[in-house]
């Protein structure tokens, strides 16, 4: 008796989104990064093309590094006191992209001006030649003042700017259209809201093919099953033809993993958890490897050891 073919067949693919511009393209990056393009579920190459390789972006802040856990401060050392040095150290640790979070612009975290934020963007672009993600502080009124100045400062570099949300998208859409950047669209782990944000941006004139989706993230032990299932639903809808869900996905791994108490609590307070210097990076690495298999295309990470482990996992999955 013939063995039946039980592999799934899919009708569509994720969009491909390119971030970064080389000199030939009007920018200054050594090379651009392209993500997306998969025609099936993650890593199941026997069912459909896997698309572009997943990439790792390393997170840096324009201010507020003192808030980071001790394990991260030890890994980065004095470089965290200077944004250019921090970017260079991130590239040494394996960053294919830099993710600059403008935490210093938060009204409660320094309240830096749009001009100061734009200078931070320029500093990153001058320090390293990998593509850049620029992320606001999350206070809508402040981001709406800051982001247009930052998109102008990075004009020609084809950066990824974020985030737009259902209630706040028009200003950043207009700024990215004017300066030629891609957009990161955020939704609260809700498939319908993810679609709605993309529709709103599209209705405002932004090409849906230039959007990267951020359906929020959770760390290991903090809702991982729910995050995984929502991402999987989004991927299934995308490869079955839903054009409003065919965006590549970004996962903010480092921020979520390192705010979990298990990643940073000192060994003397919880000896049963083992050494904190090993536990924290492993918490980040395990969060990342789980979400790689649910559909993450861009992983925003922090610790160099976690990056090394995840890179090795990606190589193993690619060879399977």
CATH, residue 308: 3.20.20.20
Rounded CA-CA distance 180/11 in Å is 31
Domain range for 130: 42-319
Q: How many domains, the chain?
A: 1
In percent, how much of the chain has pLDDT > 70? 98
H or E element that contains 317: helix 304-319
Q: Are 247 and 12 in contact (CB under 8 A)?
A: no
What single string gives the DSSP state of each residue in 51-116? -SPPEEEEEEESS-GGGS-HHHHHHHGGGGGSHHHHHHHHHHTT-SEEEEE-GGGSTTTT---HHH
**Helix (H, G, I), strand (E, B), or coil: what is residue 197?**
helix
CA-nearest of 252, 260, 256, 263 to 298 is: 252
Q: Are 297 and 54 in contact (CB under 8 A)?
A: yes
- For residue 2, the Cα-to-chain-centroid distance in whole angstroms is 45
Is residue 2 in a domain?
Answer: no
Rounded CA-CA distance 281/245 in Å is 31
Is residue 25 in a domain?
Answer: no
- For residue 194, the Cα-to-chain-centroid distance in whole angstroms is 16
Is residue 302 in a domain?
Answer: yes
Is residue 34 in a domain?
Answer: no
Is residue 33 in a domain?
Answer: no
pLDDT at position 266 is: 79
What single string gives the DSSP state of each residue in 43-56? T-TTTS---SPPEE
pTM: 0.95
Is residue 7 in a domain?
Answer: no
Render pLDDT for 173-228 as a digit per residue (tens, 0 to 9).
Answer: 999 999 999 999 999 989 999 999 999 999 999 999 999 999 998 898 888 899 99
Is residue 37 in a domain?
Answer: no
Render pLDDT for 68-81 as a digit per residue (tens, 0 to 9).
Answer: 999 999 999 999 99
Is residue 15 in a domain?
Answer: no
When mean pLDDT is compared across 15-24, 258-267, 304-313, the lowest value belongs to 258-267
Residue 3 has pLDDT above 80, yes or no: no
What is the sign of the dihedral through the CA atoms of 77, 106, 110 and 266?
negative
């Amino acid at each position: 008796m013939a063995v039946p073919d039980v592999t799934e067949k899919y009708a569509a693919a994720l969009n491909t989104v390119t971030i970064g511009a080389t000199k030939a393209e009007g920018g200054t990056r050594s090379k651009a990064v392209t993500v997306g393009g998969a025609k099936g579920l993650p890593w199941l190459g026997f069912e459909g093309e896997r698309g572009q390789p997943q990439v790792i972006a390393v997170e840096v802040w324009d201010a507020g590094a003192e808030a980071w856990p001790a394990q991260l401060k030890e890994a980065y050392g004095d470089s965290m006191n200077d944004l250019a040095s921090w970017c260079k150290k991130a590239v040494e640790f394996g960053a294919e992209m830099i993710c600059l979070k403008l935490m210093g612009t938060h009204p409660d975290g320094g309240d830096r001006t749009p001009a100061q934020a734009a200078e931070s963007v320029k500093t990153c672009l001058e320090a390293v030649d990998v593509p850049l993600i620029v992320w606001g502080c999350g206070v809508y009124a402040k981001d709406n003042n800051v982001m247009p100045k930052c998109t102008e400062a990075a004009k020609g570099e084809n950066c990824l700017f974020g985030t737009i949300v259902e209630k706040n998208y028009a200003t950043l859409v207009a700024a990215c259209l004017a300066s030629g950047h891609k957009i990161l669209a955020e939704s609260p782990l809700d498939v319908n809201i993810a679609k709605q944000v993309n529709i709103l941006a599209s209705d405002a004139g932004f090409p849906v093919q230039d959007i990267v989706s951020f359906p929020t993230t959770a760390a290991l032990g903090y809702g991982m099953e729910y995050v995984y299932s929502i991402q999987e639903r989004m991927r299934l809808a995308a490869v079955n033809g839903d054009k409003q869900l065919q965006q590549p996905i970004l996962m903010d791994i480092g921020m979520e993993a390192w705010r979990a108490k298990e990643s940073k609590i000192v060994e003397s307070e919880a000896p049963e958890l083992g050494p904190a210097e090993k536990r924290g990076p492993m918490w980040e690495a395990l969060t990342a490897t789980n979400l790689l298999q649910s559909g993450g295309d861009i992983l925003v990470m922090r610790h160099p050891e976690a990056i090394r482990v995840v890179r090795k996992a990606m190589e193993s999955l690619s060879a399977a």
